Amino acid sequence: MQNEYQSLSPTAAKRWIILLAAFVNGFVIMSIELLGGRVMAPYFGSSVYVWGSIITVFMLSLSFGYLWGGRLSLNNPGPRTFVLFFFGSAVLCLPIIFFADPLMTEVFLVIEDPRYGSLLSAILLYFLPICLMGMVSPYSVRMLVARQSHSGGIAGELYFVSTLGSALGTLGTSFYFVVWFEINQIIWVCILAQLLSGTVVAIAFREQLGSGKDKDTTAPAPASAAVDARGGHS
């Protein structure tokens, strides 16, 4: 099993880029979650139910994102899929800016109870983008782990940076951004941050993106070959 393990083991610079992308991703998740309360308040109020709906949907989206992201990393893992999570989630955030009002108006008209109205709206607005953002975490582990014996340490590092990002996203958004900017301006910045992360990852891993399969079939860089070799013997 160990001998079959195909390391995508990146150089130190690439490792930092993946960690940074995971940090930004964590930041964006919580920033969007926090704004969710404000996006939905005009239609469903700010009762406990609305926050209940938002948190439920975010947790649900992330849990499926973790599951499916982990599964995706089993077959031909590589930077191309990873980059697509960022671009995809950025695009899927656009409806929050452009369609939230008409969508919530429809839901408001159809569903009287603000509990289920807010739950349905939260699912429609947030499930897809947050699910994709959730896929980033397990997939980053796969991108970073060179040797199985190190997998726990790598996973710990990843949770650390992405959760730290989430903490700062929560703090920054709730304490400062909402005083300085409009909600949609903050969401635009989140979208741009995801696009930028995806672009930086794509540039860093550009040699591995070109091939037909999402796999490093080109000659590996010496450093990663060295890690590969070590991985094989551990």
In the complex with other proteins, the residue whose CB is nearer, 40 or 154, is: 40
In the complex with other proteins, the residue whose CB is nearer, 37 or 220, is: 37
For residues 53-91, one letter each, b for 16 or more C-beta atoms within 10 angstroms of the residue's C-beta and e for the rest, the string is: bbeebbebbbeebbebbbebbeeebbbbbbbbbbbbbbe
In this structure, are residues 118 and 39 in contact, taking their beta carbons and an 8 Å threshold?
Answer: no
Least spacing, CB of residue 37 vs other proteins, in Å:
9
Whole-number Cα distances in Å, 221 to 9, 99, 205, 206, 227: 10, 45, 11, 12, 10
Least spacing, CB of residue 31 vs other proteins, in Å:
15
Least spacing, CB of residue 41 vs other proteins, in Å:
4
Contacts of 28 by beta carbon, 8 Å cutoff, 6+ apart: 89, 133, 165, 169, 190, 193, 194
In the complex with other proteins, the residue whose CB is nearer, 51 or 64, is: 51
Q: Please report how the helices 114-144 and 100-110 are oriented relative to each other, as an axis angle in degrees rounded to 10.
A: 140
In the complex with other proteins, the residue whose CB is nearer, 20 or 178, is: 178
The footprint of other proteins (CB under 8 A) covers 38, 41-48, 108-109, 112, 114, 175, 178-179, 181-184
Least spacing, CB of residue 74 vs other proteins, in Å:
42
Least spacing, CB of residue 187 vs other proteins, in Å:
10
In the complex with other proteins, the residue whose CB is nearer, 182 or 192, is: 182
Least spacing, CB of residue 175 vs other proteins, in Å:
7
For residues 126-161, one letter each, b for 16 or more C-beta atoms within 10 angstroms of the residue's C-beta and e for the rest, the string is: bbbbbbbbbbbbbbbbbbbbbbeebeeebbebbeeb
In the complex with other proteins, the residue whose CB is nearer, 20 or 189, is: 189
In the complex with other proteins, the residue whose CB is nearer, 48 or 219, is: 48
Least spacing, CB of residue 91 vs other proteins, in Å:
22
Sign of CA dihedral 18, 24, 27, 30: negative
